[in-house]
């Protein structure tokens, strides 16, 4: 059977594979589009499996909101180039839509959810890997649901934050979300500071103060002061508001008779060990090997 240009075009649109791959698949499938598409899908999965071990530490953060619920999703790629690709952006947006509609934040469960075009999230991810040639992963997702105002803010596509308030309004919630995105507080207030973090800082401050040679009562005051300063630096309510540093976030909230119920902040690649390329070593290795 002769393979026409229109058949190749249709298969490319269905699978996103290259022209020569599509033509080869159609020849091997004797012109059967469905069989060719299935063969390309299997080939794409094989390629995806090979790329699975590669570090995907770039990507984008997407936030979606619907009424009293907002979701934040991080989807990773290997490079900033692919992170800016419209196919990658569309996949990230679609993945966030699935989370918003389903309420599913477990990544393994999310993989088998319908992404909206007859494919699962996993099938769409595999097809995208075949198209862009990089490892792609849906890394994490979170949902914020609240009776009060919800605001969100994204800085480019790399940092996103959602804030839910008790009292106040959505404009205030968005302002606080902007602050969270920019300043990255550890928690809302002192009650949320991890005990091990606080103990570690107290120990460090105590050792530093003791080295000053001052009397114990002075050392104690020094430690108390430094701990208080540390808590202001890491807690949302203690930090100077990013849009008006003369006012703390706590005072801003108090003035609006509001409080932060919860917040979530994602930054692309945080916590992922990104491979640092040493091009000098690579070139030397090639020269020595050649």
pLDDT at 192 over 70: yes
Which CATH fold topology does 190-251 show? GTP Cyclohydrolase I; Chain A, domain 1 (1.10.286)
Cα 73 to the center of its chain, rounded Å = 6
Residue 105 pLDDT: 96
pLDDT at 238 over 60: yes
**What pLDDT digit, counting tens, does each position of 206-227 carry?**
888 777 777 778 878 888 888 8
Residue 277 pLDDT: 47
**What pLDDT digit, counting tens, does each position of 139-169 carry?**
999 999 999 999 999 998 999 999 999 999 9
What distances in angstroms separate CA 88 from CA 81, 95, 249, one per listed residue? 10, 11, 36
Residue 55 pLDDT: 55
Provide mean pLDDT across the span 84-89: 94
pLDDT at 45 over 50: no
pLDDT confidence band for 290 (50 / 70 / 90): very low
Residue 34 or 55, more confident = 34
Provide mean pLDDT across the span 235-263: 96
Residue 206 pLDDT: 81
Residue 286 pLDDT: 55
Provide mean pLDDT across the span 156-184: 96
Residue 284 or 131, more confident = 131
Residue 138 pLDDT: 93
Most confident listed range (48-62, 111-125, 188-202, 255-269):
255-269
pLDDT at 49 over 70: no
* Structure tokens that stand for 3 in this block: 């393979």
Residue 30 pLDDT: 87
Q: CATH 3.30.479.20 region(s) of the chain?
A: 55-145
Residue 74 pLDDT: 96
Query: CA-to-CA distance for 24 and 146, rounded, in angstroms?
Result: 53
Which CATH fold topology does 5-51 show? Helicase, Ruva Protein; domain 3 (1.10.8)
Q: CATH 1.10.8.10 region(s) of the chain?
A: 5-51
Q: CATH 1.10.286.20 region(s) of the chain?
A: 190-251
- Lowest model confidence (mean pLDDT) among 4-13, 58-67, 150-159: 4-13
CATH of domain 55-145: 3.30.479.20
């Amino acid at each position: 059977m002769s393979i026409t240009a229109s058949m190749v075009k249709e298969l490319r649109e269905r699978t996103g594979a290259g022209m020569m791959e599509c033509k080869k698949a159609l020849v091997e499938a004797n012109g059967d589009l469905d069989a060719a598409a299935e063969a390309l899908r299997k080939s794409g999965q094989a390629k995806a499996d090979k790329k699975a071990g590669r570090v995907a530490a770039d990507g984008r953060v997407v936030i979606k909101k619907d009424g009293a619920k907002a979701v934040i999703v991080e989807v990773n790629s290997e490079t900033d180039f692919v992170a800016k690709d419209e196919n990658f952006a569309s996949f990230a947006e679609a993945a966030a839509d699935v989370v918003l509609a389903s309420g599913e934040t477990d990544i393994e469960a999310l993989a088998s959810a319908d992404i909206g075009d007859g494919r699962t999230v996993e099938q769409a991810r595999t097809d995208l890997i075949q198209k862009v040639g990089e490892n792609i992963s849906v890394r994490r997702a979170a949902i914020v649901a609240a009776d009060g105002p919800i605001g969100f803010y994204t800085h480019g596509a790399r940092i996103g934050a959602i804030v839910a308030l008790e009292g106040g309004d959505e404009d205030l919630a968005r302002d606080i979300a902007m602050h969270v995105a920019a300043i990255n507080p550890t928690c809302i207030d002192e009650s949320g500071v991890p005990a091990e973090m606080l103990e570690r800082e107290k120990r460090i401050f105590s050792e530093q103060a003791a080295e000053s040679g001052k009397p114990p009562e002075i050392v104690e005051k020094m430690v108390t002061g430094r701990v208080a300063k540390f808590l202001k630096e890491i807690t949302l309510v203690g930090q100077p508001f990013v849009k008006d540093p003369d006012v703390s976030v706590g005072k801003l909230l108090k003035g609006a008779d509001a409080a932060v119920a919860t917040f979530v902040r994602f930054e692309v690649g945080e916590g992922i060990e990104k491979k640092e390329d040493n091009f000098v070593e690579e070139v030397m290795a090639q020269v020595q090997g050649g």
